[in-house]
Homo-oligomer: A and B are copies of this chain.
Amino acid sequence: MPAYATNMRTKFPIIALILEIITIILFAVFVVYDDGEHGHHDSHDTHNNTDHKLEPMDLYPMFQDVHVMIFIGFGFLMTFLKRYGFSSVGINLLLAAFGLQWGLLMQGIWHLDGGKIKVSILKIINADFSTATVLISFGAVLGKTSPVQLLIMTILEITIFSVNEHLVVGLMKASDVGASMVIHAYGAYFGLAVARVLYRPGLRNGHENDGSVYHSDMFAMIGTIFLWMFWPSFNSAIAEPPLSYTQLTAVINTYLSLATCVLSAYAISSLVEHKGKLDMVHIQNATLAGGVAVGTCADMSIGPFGAMLIGFVAGIISTVGFKYLSPILASNLGIQDTCGVHNLHGLPGILGGLAGIVASPHALKISPHATMQAAALGSSLGFALVGGTITGLIMKLPFWGQPPDQNCFDDSIYWEVPNEEEENEESLAHGDQSKHKADV
């Protein structure tokens, strides 16, 4: 067992400050405001050949919906653990705040305009998207990694993501408007690869803090519901041409897929659980699988019926995955997937990619080639597995402050935590005197 150095007093501040200063310098060199005068190189940014000229702020409400998904949605979804809420929502904020800056740079270098990255609402939507990959992977290693390790993962994962995205969308011309492949499948398998490398035999038999309490499950539902509600925005925000029926199609498909998915997830949860009871883990996660799975073909003319079928199947495979597949992954393959991202993002992401291959003739704009859709899925999975493994190996280096097994899933290793637990015990025994913060 390695010696652990989890005191972050020097390590974390130095790394965070250096990263931020480098980022600011890169912004000073490369980033300017969008002024509406483009060189027309980026098909995502200009839509002048349509009836609907995009005004600078037209996509702003969509951006805010996506923003809520990233910071409230992902942040609170992960607060289900009983003693890891500070880290879930707090480190989520840290990673996303850094990730969006890094994502702006990494995505921007593929679309330079006069040597500059011109920041528009569309660009910051895409920057938010790039952070989603990291937050998905974060779910796989939640509770078992230090903030420093996670900052390293953020840089590497977003960098690799932007390469894969450029390859898939820019070069292969594959269609993936809701990013089932380039975000969800990529983020999930990247995170699973990292989790595999960071496998902890000491947690084979579980950990007392690796579970929820009543209130932490309630906090997690805040994340679930906000993700569920705003997913139509996620899947339609970058649909082209904006403000048109293509975007409407993406909204309707996602809305219906999600609604259907809720019914199948609830039904299967009750079917597979003890005495027919519902399991919060399924409700918090599998109800969202419909949003993931309909992503690739959200803007295709698959019909309301087609979208509902996708959602129906997604809810089933996600719930079944949680019940039967996750335990096998953990015990047989050494993949300890804290949040079950394989079931929420991995399997439904692959389902979405497959649906996109089948549905590609129904695309409303230039029809993507089914072969290219398949190649896009393969590329996303390949980059994820290779990139995640390499990233995991780097994260495994012994000086990043990784927590020892016994301190996993516990905020108090990286956070000042109010000492209510001791208070409660003491207050019952001796009254109520001890009120200062714990120096754990």
**Nearest chain-B residue to A284 (Cβ)?**
B90
A71:B229 contact, CB within 8 angstroms: yes
Pick from B34, B60, B97, B211: contact of A259, CB under 8 Å: B97
Given A28-B305, A97-B259, A218-B89, CB of A64 within 8 Å of CB of B283 = no
Cβ of A277 within 8 Å of any chain B Cβ, yes or no, is yes
**Nearest chain-B residue to A435 (Cβ)?**
B208
Separation of A304 and B33 alpha carbons in the complex (Å) = 7
> For window 32-88 of chain A, which residues contact chain B by CB distance below 8 Å?
32-36, 52, 55-57, 60-62, 64-65, 67-68, 71-72, 75-76, 79, 82-83, 85-86
Separation of A345 and B143 alpha carbons in the complex (Å) = 33
Distance in Å from the Cβ of A375 to the closest Cβ of chain B? 29
Separation of A267 and B260 alpha carbons in the complex (Å) = 44
Given A12-B270, A304-B119, CB of A212 within 8 Å of CB of B418 = yes
Majority secondary structure of chain A interface residues (helix, strand, loop or mixed): helix
Chain multiplicity (copies): 3
Separation of A75 and B218 alpha carbons in the complex (Å) = 11
Cβ of A19 within 8 Å of any chain B Cβ, yes or no, is yes
Cβ of A249 within 8 Å of any chain B Cβ, yes or no, is yes
Given A71-B229, A98-B262, CB of A213 within 8 Å of CB of B252 = no
With a cutoff of 8 Å between Cβ atoms, the chain B residues found around residue A33 in the complex are 245, 248-249, 252, 301, 303-304
Given A20-B312, A233-B64, A270-B9, CB of A280 within 8 Å of CB of B244 = no
B244:A278 contact, CB within 8 angstroms: no
**Nearest chain-B residue to A287 (Cβ)?**
B93
B27:A308 contact, CB within 8 angstroms: yes
Separation of A47 and B86 alpha carbons in the complex (Å) = 45
Pick from B280, B425, B435: contact of A86, CB under 8 Å: B280
Given A71-B228, A75-B225, A225-B71, CB of A418 within 8 Å of CB of B217 = yes
Q: A residues near B, CB below 8 A?
A: 7-14, 16-17, 19-20, 23-24, 27-28, 31-36, 52, 55-57, 60-62, 64-65, 67-68, 71-72, 75-76, 79, 82-83, 85-86, 89-90, 93-94, 97-98, 100-101, 119-121, 124, 147, 206, 208, 211-215, 217-219, 221-222, 225-226, 228-230, 233, 243-245, 247-249, 251-252, 255-256, 258-260, 262-264, 266-268, 270-271, 273-280, 283, 287, 301, 303-305, 308-309, 312, 414-418, 420, 423, 425, 428, 432-433, 435-437, 439
